[in-house]
Chains A and B, each alone.
Chain A
Amino acid sequence: MLFMNDHADTIDALPPEVLLAPSAMVRGAARGKDVTIVQNSEEHWVALVQAIATAHDQTAFAELFRHFAPKVKAFLIKSGADAGLAEECMQDVMATLWRKAHMYDPSRASVATWIFTVARNRKIDLLRKYARPEPEDLPWGPEQAPDQADVLALQQESHRLAEAMKTLPEKQRILIERAYFGDLTHSEIAAETGLPLGTIKSRIRLALDRLRHNMT
């Protein structure tokens, strides 16, 4: 009864139009109107996660898997996992993505950021053998849809951050990457990144304030 029975081969075997067309429909349905798909944009990934959350859309999941699974596995290998463990852990992360799609708040994180946090936590579970203490959840659910302007602003800032990352001097970029691969001890981490994190912070703060306001 479950998923992908029509596409029993690996995801790479799916023709590109299968991956694209249904998510265009889904996205149109989710927003109530047709929207042009811009491949690989942050907003596109948001639409796919929302399609999983609202409609258990397997094709949307397949597209996310195709893009993010090889990155998650590469991230885990660079974090010190061997290929076997990285594969296991990646599958766990992607399955969590499916299960927790309704928890994703696009006014506070890009899909890449959200997947990073899931992968980081799973990595700590497996490599360091303890459940990482996480901040208390904020009340969140489908009934409290985020403000669309907030979502757009945050996703654009995330795109800008990704672009800024490309223009960093290599030495600095490598230092940041090493911090996130867990290659640096906490006393070696310097938080001065030269990246526009302040604007992202302001956006997230605004979204949190709205969430608090909705709760009261």
Chain B
Amino acid sequence: MQDVNHHISDDLLMGYAAGALPQAFDLVIATHVSLSDESRARLESFEALGGAVLNHVGTADLEEDSFEATMARISAAPAPERAPSPEPAETGIFPAPLRDMVGGDLDAVKWRAVGMGVKQCVLHSGKDASVRLLYIPAGQAMPMHSHRGTEMTLVLQGAYSDEEDRFARGDVEIAGEETNHTPTADPGEDCICLIATDAPLKFNGLLPRIAQPFVGI
């Protein structure tokens, strides 16, 4: 597996390993880790830390019939005789966690046009964070914007560049409040991204600001 160039930061991976992130970020990280063995190894090392915490946590008294009750649960739904083989590699572009969320691959996405050929689909919107798919036509620039919170962008198809760097399939860009950038999709292929935000975006130009309520970001 060819690995990606831009990985998720340690603090977010540790937050995911600990189960401390909003659901929106869980989805982006699970999808990114599906595309990067390096990130998977880093994630699993933070899970090893969770194992060490479990070792040190002490013990709690169990109910008297705890073991029998557990055995009853097992006999109610016994182990499968053989490991089910994993699904063969899909031909689509969505790794399993995203496919599960969308209910299919790219062709199952219910896009909404937001102007300039850009389309989006909000997958989940919680009180602390939201996650959406964004479709940017090849060569199209996104409006200049900065952020109030943390924005995590994962590229699923095509690529985009901003003033700093270029991001292709599997790459993650994490933008904080200090980031103020103008991402532009590479020419040649439409760019599809999965984006989690823990605060609404704010646009710098007047027109995009008016458009923001419709964009819903």
B18 touches A180 (CB 8 A): yes
A192 partner residues in chain B, CB cutoff 8 A? 10
Kindly state whether residue B145 has any CB partner on chain A within 8 Å. no
Q: A123-B19, A161-B49 are in contact. Are A212 and B86 (CB under 8 A)?
A: no
A72 within 8 A of B: yes
A75 touching B57, Cβ below 8 Å: yes
Residue of A nearest to B11 (CB): A191
- A38 close to B (CB within 8 Å): no
Check A136 against B34 for contact (C-beta < 8 Å): yes
Q: How far is B1's CA from A157's CA once the two chains are assembled, in angstroms?
A: 25
> Looking at the complex, which of B37-45, B112-120, B155-163 is the stretch in contact with chain A?
B37-45
* Interface class of chain A by DSSP: helix
Query: B21, B40, B47, B78: which contacts A113 (Cβ < 8 A)?
Result: B47
Instruction: Determine the distance from Cα of A9 to Cα of B49 in the docked complex, in whole angstroms.
Output: 34
State whether B11 touches A110 (Cβ < 8 A): no
**B23:A71 contact, CB within 8 angstroms:** no
Return chain A residues, CB-CB under 8 Å to B59.
70-71, 73-74
Give the CA-CA distance A190 to B15 in the complex, in Å. 9
How distant is the Cα of A173 from the Cα of B68 in the complex, in angstroms? 35
Instruction: Confirm or deny: B107 has a beta carbon within 8 angstroms of a beta carbon on chain A.
Output: no
**Which residues from B are CB-within-8-Å of A209?**
37
Other-chain residue from B18, B47, B54, B95 in contact with A179 (beta carbon distance below 8 A): B18
Q: Is A30 an interface residue (CB 8 A)?
A: no
The bracket for how many chain A residues form the interface is: 35 or more
- Asked whether, in the complex, the Cβ of B31 is within 8 Å of the Cβ of A191, the reply is no
Q: Does A11 contact B (CB under 8 A)?
A: yes
- A8 interfacial contact with B, CB 8 Å: yes
Whether A208 pairs with B52 at a CB distance below 8 angstroms is no
Total interface residues on B, CB under 8 Å, equals 72
Across-interface contacts of B61 in A (CB, < 8 A) = 70
Inter-chain CA distance A90–B62, complex, in Å, is 9
> Is the Cβ of A197 less than 8 Å from the Cβ of B46?
yes
The answer to whether B14 and A74 touch across the interface, beta carbons within 8 angstroms, is no
Check B48 against A208 for contact (C-beta < 8 Å): no
| B40–A134 touching, CB < 8 Å | no
What residues on B are CB-neighbors of A78 within 8 Å? Answer: 57
A92 to B41, CA, bound (A): 27
20 sampled A-B residue pairs with Cβ under 8 A: A2-B75, A10-B62, A69-B67, A70-B62, A91-B69, A99-B79, A101-B79, A110-B51, A112-B51, A113-B54, A115-B54, A116-B51, A124-B19, A166-B56, A180-B49, A180-B53, A191-B9, A193-B49, A201-B41, A201-B45
Measured CB to CB, the residues of A under 8 A from B are 2-4, 8, 10-11, 56, 62, 65, 68-75, 77-78, 83, 86-87, 90-92, 94-95, 98-103, 108-110, 112-117, 119-121, 123-124, 128, 130, 132-142, 157-158, 161-162, 165-166, 173, 176-177, 179-182, 184-187, 189-193, 195, 197-198, 200-202, 204-205, 208-209, 212
Q: Which 10 A-B pairs have the closest CB atoms?
A: A113-B51, A191-B10, A70-B59, A136-B96, A112-B51, A136-B34, A205-B41, A186-B15, A133-B30, A201-B45
Q: A166-B56, A201-B45 are in contact. List 7 more A-B contacts (CB 8 A).
A: A87-B63, A101-B79, A140-B86, A162-B55, A165-B53, A189-B20, A201-B41
Tell me the B residues contacting A by CB distance below 8 Å: 1, 9-15, 18-23, 25-27, 30-31, 33-34, 37-38, 40-71, 73-75, 77-80, 82-83, 85-86, 95-97, 100-101, 150
